[in-house]
A and B are shown apart, each in its own frame.
Chain A
Amino acid sequence: MSKIVEGLLYSESHEWVKVDGNVAIIGVSDFAQSEMGDITYVDMPSEGDEVTKGEDFGALESVKASSELYSPVSGTVVACNVDLEDAPELINQDPYVNWIIKVEMNDKGELGDLLNSAAYQKFIEK
């Protein structure tokens, strides 16, 4: 049973967003990390990079496969979680504490397209 944290917003590609003012903190859901298995590498953008809603901004790599990360919002990357460079397994250990990037949003209205925890729960049960 995958853990879902209330109060976060979720995308159908299994990223979560925590809104902090105009900044979106982005990670992946517990469902995503458990589907991936042991994560061995996190491919992240650099600070200052532009990301676009629905387009990939990096990837998670497990032993077996790579899985692209899709940005739930558009904006500018203001922080990357550098801890993941040497310890990608932190995402397996707690995908909600170990965020991946923070994005200064261009348009907070884009958040309206995301799912709340109850809707995401229904989505992954399908």
Chain B
Amino acid sequence: MEAQLKTTCLHGSHISLGAKMSPFAGFDMPIQYSGIIDEHNAVRNSAGMFDVSHMGEIFVSGKDAFAFVNHIFTNDITGQKDGSVLYGMMLYPHGGTVDDILVYKEFKDNCYLLVVNASNIEKDFDWLVANSKGYDVHIENASEEWGQIAVQGQDSQSVLEKLLGLDCCGNLLFYEFCDTVYDNARLIVSRTGYTGEDGFELYSSPEVICKMWDILLKGGVKPCGLGCRDTLRFETGLPLYGDELSEDISPVMAGLSIFCKPEKPGGFIGSEAIVNQKTNGVARKLVGLELTDKAIPRAGYPVLNAEGVGIGVVTTGYRSISLDKSLCFALVDVAYASLDTRVQVQVRHKAFEAAVVKKRFYKTKYKKQ
């Protein structure tokens, strides 16, 4: 028997909006409302909003919270300012990826919020608990008590100011957050996202999230599904856990070494493996590929060299909506990973010419100053 799908606090709204629903990470989630292309363009050109209440929220506090988070997290939280966010990973000792996460430094000493992928909530929580021996910390999985909306696109700030009165938005730069109250519930407003555009993520109680969603909807903000969330993140070179990062794909392989700081005091779980991979190299690396033809590469399709020998595999691929090109991420043997290398992608019965290009296909528009 199929496991019962979980639902977010906005499920009823998705149904009444006529969204095309599909299982994702154990949740019944909206893939699209008006259409993936329309929703994608709304985020690129103005603004759109996503129900991302399925994401996990794990709070870590206690005397040793700083030392513990720095132990399990690849980035370095030493000196992380209150109200700032850091991206990084949790790794297995062999360097494979447990999850890629955001670490929020709260406005209290030794208090952190870890935002994790929906598909990994239980695994991450168990991993944190299992690795907390000897640390005086309290680890709480609060995922079910929090809803989340992402409002993304260049108009996001004005929309949130005008429709929700969130005046703190204007004070935030990329990867900063404010911790406030809305209708007596705690509200975290963070200038983060997964689309390559300027935008915000709002975390609050399911009741507040539902109320805000309805206000934004009435105010004309376009609801966007997970379909375009994927096309948007893909175009701007952002990885998805399960595709570009996994137990078998380390951040070094994925080209995310910049988020790993093994030189920090004490390192982190997996730092020896990361140093080793950086020193001695890895067998495969994640690259961007651009096809010369209109054929569309899809996850799992083989990548071949000029002689037709298999040298890799596609992890995510689309006909890019913003660029009108056939593009993909692929894990390929390092001999084929440098820019401009000519390879082929097997699409059904034919092999198509492709070249290695930068993974950030589309320019990001974050508000960094």
Contacts and interface: CB of A to CB of B under 8 A. Distances in A.
B295 A63 contact: no
A61 B32 contact: no
Contacts of B319: 40-41, 61, 63
A63 B317 CA distance: 10
A56 B295 CA distance: 16
Interface of A: 37-38, 40-41, 43, 56, 59, 61-66, 68, 85
Given A37-B32, A38-B35, A63 B348 contact: no
Contact of B296 (A37, A41, A56, A68): A41
Contact of A41 (B31, B37, B227, B294): B294
A68 B296 CA distance: 13
Contacts of A40: 296, 319
B256 interface: no
Given A37-B32, A63-B318, A66-B298, A43 B37 contact: no
B321 interface: yes
Q: Most chain-B CB neighbours within 10 Å: which of A37, A40, A56, A64?
A: A64
A61 B305 CA distance: 25
Nearest to A66: B298
A43 B36 contact: no
Interface in B225-252: 227, 231
A63 B321 contact: yes
B37 A63 contact: yes
Contact of B36 (A41, A61, A64): A64
B347 interface: yes
Interface in B19-45: 20, 31-32, 35-37, 40
Contact of B227 (A59, A61, A63, A66): A63
7 contacts: A37-B20, A41-B294, A63-B40, A63-B227, A63-B321, A64-B227, A85-B294
B322 to A, nearest CB: 12
Q: Most chain-B CB neighbours within 10 Å: which of A41, A59, A63, A65?
A: A63
Nearest to B35: A38
Nearest to A42: B294
Interface size class of B (residues with CB under 8 A): 10 to 19
A116 B318 CA distance: 36
A56 B348 CA distance: 10
A37 B35 contact: yes
Nearest to B295: A43
Contacts of B227: 63-64
B36 A66 contact: no
A66 B295 CA distance: 10
B24 to A, nearest CB: 12
A120 B90 CA distance: 52
A112 to B, nearest CB: 28
A15 B201 CA distance: 43
A38 B348 contact: no
B295 A38 contact: no
B35 A61 contact: no
B321 A59 contact: no
B291 to A, nearest CB: 11
A85 B293 CA distance: 11
B243 to A, nearest CB: 14
Nearest to A40: B319
Given A43-B348, A59-B348, A63-B319, A38 B296 contact: no
B214 to A, nearest CB: 26
A66 B227 CA distance: 14
Contacts of B318: 63
Interface in B261-318: 294-296, 298, 318
B35 A66 contact: no
Contact of B347 (A37, A43, A62, A85): A43
Nearest to A59: B348
Nearest to B301: A66
Contacts of B35: 37-38
B37 A38 contact: yes
A62 B35 CA distance: 11
A64 B35 CA distance: 11
A52 to B, nearest CB: 13
A50 B239 CA distance: 41
Which 9 residue pairs of A and B lie closest in terms of their CB atoms, listed nearest first? A63-B36, A61-B296, A40-B319, A38-B37, A41-B294, A64-B227, A41-B296, A38-B35, A66-B298
Given A41-B295, A64-B227, 17 more contacts: A38-B35, A38-B37, A41-B319, A43-B295, A43-B348, A61-B319, A62-B36, A63-B37, A63-B40, A63-B227, A63-B231, A63-B321, A64-B36, A66-B296, A66-B298, A68-B348, A85-B294
